Chain A
């Protein structure tokens, strides 16, 4: 009743708050240095984008000259003049020879494949970046929104540890671990020597801008330091360097997630302002554009019902506007994620934009629940049955014995059961055709790759 009980709690309350804040800070710091978060999410993003780009390159193989070759309609000299103005990175401008072009195209495809399977992920992610930027920047006007996402993610992936699971790297690491010490790693040394030499040579020849030289050199030195420390350094050095890597990874992962949110946010916010999105007819129009109707009968069918079109139109806007906020609520986020992936799958078919849709699905995948990804991984894994199933390196010894067959192991074991029931992967049959084609809206867009 007296002042005492009132006053007493006050000071401790403040102290407790400070302590709590303090603890939270420390905990946060330890978390972002102590581990590379989201190993499965980054892996699935890596696989998704590498696969999308690889499929694209394979599909366009017959058209590669017309797209990016020296004699493409967007001629070498045209590209040269544009790139002189915007300094975009592309090794294709180093030479106008057809042979060089063929080499770069093959290099890009191989890099995509290497990244897909997670072979020397750190190096291959850089190769992938070089491939993507070289081809896309060579002919920017051939690209659309799908290329735009691939472009950005190629940049981001370089700074993530995206090969820690579901990769050949992870397998190699497990083997090394079983064998004891890390091996001499001749392949790594050769790769490092080759890339280092290539970097020095290109820089000396003046082919790289100072900015790119510094960027590649920093990456190279970082990897070299990591290799050296792993082999010769003490435990503290290893920890410190790994923690640095984790910091970069975690920061970049945050950027990737924010980027996906920005994509949906702006796509949604601009739509809100459009009269057609307001009056509920927007979806009808793309279904009647020659460029977006590979299956006119299907488009006619979808666009035939006013109610359906209005529902899809509104649902699209609501989903896009809402998504960035739902990431703070696991369940709603997962529902919207399924909706968006289904929408993109339908777009792939209805609007004829398979690569754009694949890229968007790959981007969405960064928000997939770990439990679902583990479940997915377990399904893929069931057949091979190698002794050390695809858990992150290191766990095999302690993981539950059931790891190989059943749900993936350990503490996570019970989770997969409750995950989003079906694999919402790619069925395209839902007639939800969200109109988000691979490209900026036509009349207005100064952006969308064009003004590079």
Chain B
């Protein structure tokens, strides 16, 4: 029984059809890397899964929650799927702790004390226990992204969507964020990540999806996709002949 079922999903922006019928089933605990050129629709697909973009056709369901464009259904779905963004998107007016506490108290109505304990636990999990009272602009990019991961984890999602989570980071900060993601994968979290970190995808992922012009062009375990690319487009993307 797949955890995330994506069936014939279509999305267009004006005349531009960005997703041309995507089918993808994700089993619990799978770690999926979505790779492809910019404009291939990989980020759009990720954003469709938790309803940040409204799909024009097809269906998406996560653990039985259908994606429907009203606030009640969206909320139910978003409680199951967390999302991490390229630009971190921490709330700048709140401390790291405040960022992790807010949605617990507001959305889940968790009592303040429990939410704070959860926040401390999650910040510790990403290695930032001592930054509880720091504001986002006092943290490095890598630290901010780790707070963002803690913030998503505090909602106890069953899957996480990672949209190029290291692309906005200086090279020396990439490793600390990837280490956290790697740990999540090892703990069995279901992950869908759009990434340019090919080595990371090869090491950590159970399956790799290569997207090209709005379609899933090639899909398979990383050893196949990276070592034995079948299509010329994937060969060109990977730079192998």
A, B from the same assembly: no
Residues of B within 8 A of A (CB): none
Residues of A within 8 A of B (CB): none
